[in-house]
Amino acid sequence: MNETFARRSLADICSRLYDRGLTVSAGGNMSVRTGPEEILITPSGVNKGMLSPEDMVRMDIEGEVLSGGKPSIEHGFHLALYRRNPRTNAVVHCHPLYCTALAVMNRKIRSGLTPEGVILLGDVPMVDYETPGSEELIRAVEMHSDARAMLMRRHGALTQGKDLIEAYNRMEELEFQAKLQMLVGRTGNLPRSEIEKLVRL
């Protein structure tokens, strides 16, 4: 992906996440792959609603910073997902309110409440709590690297996709499903036969 376009796209997605209330203040981190061995990632400690294309930090897949700026302290699990998944070209991590509420309560997302949850998210694992930025957190995320979306216990949520739009859409859907789950209580999932049919789609 052209770097100039990637910088603009990443800044736009950050703004959308902020405007939708999916991230607040300097919380979260987002990245996009610009080539087989390079990514752009949001800088550390900057409000995601106020980022410009020039603020994004360029890194190689092994973690070396190639441009000015300090990358998010959580760049490690972004890089781990890119190394594990050649088809992953974008990673979004933020702290949406309802997702984070479920993560604090250690309650898994029930993505089988609606067809959209099944199709867009699939099974959503809960990543064990580890200190942000730590090697332990990188390993905990890596354990679920095949998941399209994850909750991170007492931390937030994470999605990955073939591009920024897919990763963004999954985060938006993840928060919708979390809110829906909080509202409907113990209402059951779709029938197993219907979920299996949707998975085949």
Per the annotation, the verdict on 74 as an active-site residue is yes
What's the rounded Cα separation, in Å, for the pair 179 and 186?
13
CA distances from 185 to 107, 174, 180, 195 (A): 12, 17, 8, 19
Residue 100 φ then ψ, to 5°? -70, -35
> Average model confidence (pLDDT) for the chain?
95
The alpha helices in 44-134, defined as continuous H runs, are 75-84, 97-104, 115-121
Output the pLDDT for position 68.
80
Q: Is the pLDDT of residue 190 over 80?
A: yes
Q: What is the pLDDT of residues 137-169, one digit of tens each?
A: 999 999 999 999 999 999 999 999 999 999 999
Which among 3, 37, 74, 142 is annotated as catalytic?
Answer: 74
What kind and span of H or E run contains 184? helix 164-184
Considering only CA atoms, give the Rg of the chain: 16
For the chain, give every domain's residue range.
3-200
**Residue 138 near residue 80 (C-beta atoms within 8 A):** yes
Q: Options 2.60.120.260, 3.40.50.720, 3.40.225.10, 3.40.720.10; which CATH number does 3-200 get?
A: 3.40.225.10
The secondary element (H helix, E strand) that includes residue 33 is strand 29-35
- Asked if residue 61 has pLDDT above 80, the reply is yes
